[in-house]
């Protein structure tokens, strides 16, 4: 079967790791760096937005965003991302990866700048324009998921393909880190230039007017890495797999890859036509043939990503409690506005450095050694164990003196999410579907994940509230409490572990072998 493969695709599969692989990782990875920066940086400045736009005269505590405003500001980008994943995933299979790739990047640049320039005379006006730009920013970010994964998988060789796609995804960790560091830097500069008293000393003077620039600069900075990579994205040739198997232009595919690989590659027009005529290359997404061959695979990739993101995004809810409990972030009234941004950003950066970034790179190192299936299974299993480890003795962890243990356990759940399903759910959908449906199926899986993220972020924001109405956060109804929420999340991880068995192992195989596209010639 290997001998029947197109020479241009075989050349990519057996190519030694070379410079163009690293160029592709950086170009695709910078998109992900920007994605993570833009999605996560909003959480660093929401407290500042509350102080600036929702101050209540005479209140003993600084202004905070009302629950519905907070949910919309944080959630609107997720809704945009979900829509973008479906739309650009489909478009990437229709128009080609490269053409659509530039669109998503420009959308991200324009909307990052737009977010920072949000205008209005009232708090409502500013929040409405911010939400408008955040939605379209999310829409562009959504497109980057299926396109980056598909481009990298179609460029990579079969021996190290998993590591290359994981490396693109791992740039997320650096994006989160950069978000924290930019917020630290900007808040420090403004804090030193415009000193102000704590809120409990002088409520009005604690938020200097110049603080309004801080959140805008932090949000707009996301446009810089995206703009820098635009030129390189436009210079990348279309992937050979799209050109040969979808556009059916063997000559162009051979010419493009000859330049990239620096070897002479034979054109095989006849073979491409025979592939195209085969049964394996004619069925659509909603056909019985697709359901028979790949239906369970798509259910597997979509459900595992959905369940993982419920658990992954709900973990962020416990951060503020943990930070406050261990004294990283003092009570809001004891700080001025810029000090609060600095403290939150510092805490998030430490979590990213210790729990988030290492997990990604463990995946890069080991995915082509132990395989996707094993890493995903292990990740879900360990996340279940650590969630139960937090839930069962929850009162012990939250009593004074035991907070460090809680932070360590919490860090490990993040580590095994990233050295586990958070990485593999991104990689596998880019490998197991046919070229003409690859980007669409990845987009469907990713959108399913974002739906999980919305449930994880907002469902658990309400669920995790104290059952006692007097102890619930201001503006929220009573929930089931953090302890019960952790038990529920352990169950979600266990379900994810079960759904992993629907997904095939793709380690060491060519993309055509996994998806069954090679069968075209047998049928001819």
User: Could you report the per-residue pLDDT of 262-308, keeping only the tens digit for each?
Assistant: 888 888 787 877 777 776 777 888 889 999 999 999 999 999 999 99
Q: Does residue 111 have a pLDDT over 70?
A: yes
- Comparing 54-68, 282-296, 324-338, 479-493, which segment has the lowest mean pLDDT? 324-338
- Residue 323: pLDDT above 80? no
Q: What is the pLDDT of residue 464?
A: 78
Residue 363 reports pLDDT greater than 90: yes
Instruction: Map residue 2 onto helix, strand or coil.
Output: helix
CA angle centred on 131, ends 127 and 135, rounded to 5°:
175
Query: Across residues 171-198, what is the average pLDDT?
Result: 94
| Continuous segment of H or E residues that includes residue 207 | none
Q: What is the largest CA-CA distance in the chain?
A: 82
State residue 520's pLDDT score.
45
Average pLDDT over residues 47-59: 91
Mean of pLDDT over the chain: 89
Give the residue, 194 or 408, on which the prediction is more confident.
194
Task: Please tell me the pTM assigned to this model.
Answer: 0.92
Q: What's the pLDDT score for residue 356? A: 79
**Mean pLDDT computed over 4-20:** 85
281 Cβ neighbours under 8 A, 6+ residues apart: 245, 275, 434, 436, 517, 520
How does pLDDT run across 82-96, given as a tens digit for each residue? 999 999 999 999 999
Confidence label for 479 from pLDDT (cuts 50, 70 and 90): confident
**Residues 18, 21, 27, 31, CA torsion sign:** negative
Whether the pLDDT of residue 482 is over 90: the answer is: no
Q: Is the pLDDT of residue 140 over 90?
A: yes
- Distance, CA of 108 to chain centre: 14
- pLDDT on residue 10: 87
Q: Give the pLDDT mean for 493-519.
A: 90
Average pLDDT, integer, range 134-139: 96
Rounded Cα–Cα distance for residues 439 and 238 (Å): 14
Q: Which residues of 503-515 are buried (b: 16+ CB within 10 A; e: fewer)?
A: bbebbebbbbbbb
Whether the per-residue pLDDT at 473 is higher than 90: the answer is no
The neighbour count for residue 475, using CB atoms within 10 Å, is: 12
Which parts of 97-122 fold into alpha helices (H)?
Answer: 97-116
User: pLDDT band for position 1 (50/70/90)?
Assistant: very low
Which range has the worst mean pLDDT, 125-134, 224-233, 294-303, 317-326? 317-326
Q: How far apart are CA 218 and CA 223, in angstroms?
A: 10
Whole-angstrom Cα distance, residue 267 to residue 424?
34
- Range in 51-55, 140-144, 351-355 with the lowest mean pLDDT: 351-355
Count CB atoms within 10 A of the CB of residue 94. Answer: 12
What pLDDT does residue 320 have? 62
- Domain ranges within the chain, ordered by starting residue: 19-277+285-515
| Mean pLDDT, rounded, for 14-25 | 88
> What is the pLDDT, as a whole number, of residue 462?
81
What's the CATH superfamily of 19-277+285-515? MFS general substrate transporter like domains (1.20.1250.20)
- pLDDT in the model for residue 521: 44
Let me know: does 111 contact 143? Beta carbons within 8 Å.
no
pLDDT, mean of residues 122-148: 95
Residue 195, class by beta-carbon neighbours within 10 Å (0-12 exposed, 13-18 middle, 19+ buried)? exposed
- Spatial distance between the Cα atoms of 405 and 398, rounded to a whole number of angstroms: 10
Percent of the chain's residues with pLDDT above 90: 54
Give me the sign of the Cα torsion angle 245, 247, 249, 255. Answer: negative
């Amino acid at each position: 079967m290997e001998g029947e493969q197109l020479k241009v695709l075989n050349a990519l599969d057996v190519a030694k790791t070379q410079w163009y692989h690293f160029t592709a990782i950086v170009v695709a990875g910078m998109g992900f760096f920007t994605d993570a920066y833009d999605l996560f940086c909003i959480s660093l400045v929401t407290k500042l937005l509350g102080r600036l736009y929702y101050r209540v005269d005479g209140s003993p505590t600084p202004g905070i965003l009302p629950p519905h405003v907070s949910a919309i500001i944080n959630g609107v980008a997720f809704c945009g991302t979900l829509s973008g994943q479906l739309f650009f995933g489909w478009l990437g299979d229709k128009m080609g990866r490269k053409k659509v790739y530039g669109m998503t990047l420009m959308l991200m640049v324009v909307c990052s700048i737009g977010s920072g320039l949000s205008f209005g005379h009232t708090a409502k006006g500013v929040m409405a324009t911010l939400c408008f730009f955040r939605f379209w920013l999310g829409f562009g970010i959504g497109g980057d998921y299926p396109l980056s994964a598909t481009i990298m998988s179609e460029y990579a060789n079969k021996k190290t393909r998993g590591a290359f796609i994981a490396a693109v995804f791992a740039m997320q960790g650096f994006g989160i880190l950069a978000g924290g560091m930019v917020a630290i830097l900007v808040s420090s500069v403004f804090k030193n230039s415009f000193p102000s008293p704590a809120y409990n000393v002088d409520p009005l003077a604690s938020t200097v007017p110049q603080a309004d620039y801080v959140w805008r600069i932090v949000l707009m900075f996301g446009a810089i890495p995206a703009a820098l990579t635009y030129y390189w994205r436009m210079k990348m040739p279309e992937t050979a797999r799209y050109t040969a198997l979808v556009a059916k232009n063997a000559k162009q595919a051979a010419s493009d890859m000859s330049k990239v690989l620096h070897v002479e590659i034979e054109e095989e027009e006849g073979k491409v036509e025979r592939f195209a005529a085969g049964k394996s290359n004619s069925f659509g997404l909603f056909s019985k043939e697709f359901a028979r061959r790949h239906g369970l695979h798509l259910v597997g990739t979509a459900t595992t990503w959905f369940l993982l993101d419920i658990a992954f995004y709900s973990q962020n809810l416990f951060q503020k409690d943990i930070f406050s409990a261990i004294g990283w972030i003092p009570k809001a009234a004891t700080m001025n506005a810029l000090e609060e941004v600095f403290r939150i950003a510092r805490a998030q950066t430490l979590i990213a450095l210790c729990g988030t970034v290492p997990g990604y790179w463990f995946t890069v190192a080991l995915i082509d050694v132990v395989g996707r299936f094993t890493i995903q299974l292990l990740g879900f299993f360990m996340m279940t164990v650590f969630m139960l480890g937090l839930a069962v003795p929850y009162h012990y962890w939250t009593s004074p003196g035991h907070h460090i243990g809680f932070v360590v356990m919490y860090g490990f759940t993040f580590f095994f999410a990233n050295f586990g399903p958070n990485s593999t759910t991104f990689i596998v959908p880019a490998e197991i579907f046919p070229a003409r449906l690859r980007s669409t199926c990845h987009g469907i899986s990713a959108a399913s994940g974002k739906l999980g993220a919305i449930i994880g972020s907002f469902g658990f924001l309400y669920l995790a509230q104290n059952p006692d109405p007097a102890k619930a956060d201001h503006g929220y109804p009573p929930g089931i409490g953090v302890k019960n929420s952790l038990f529920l999340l352990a169950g979600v991880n266990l379900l994810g572990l079960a759904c992993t068995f629907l997904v095939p192992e793709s380690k060491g195989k060519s993309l055509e072998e996994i998806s069954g596209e090679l069968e075209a010639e047998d049928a001819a």
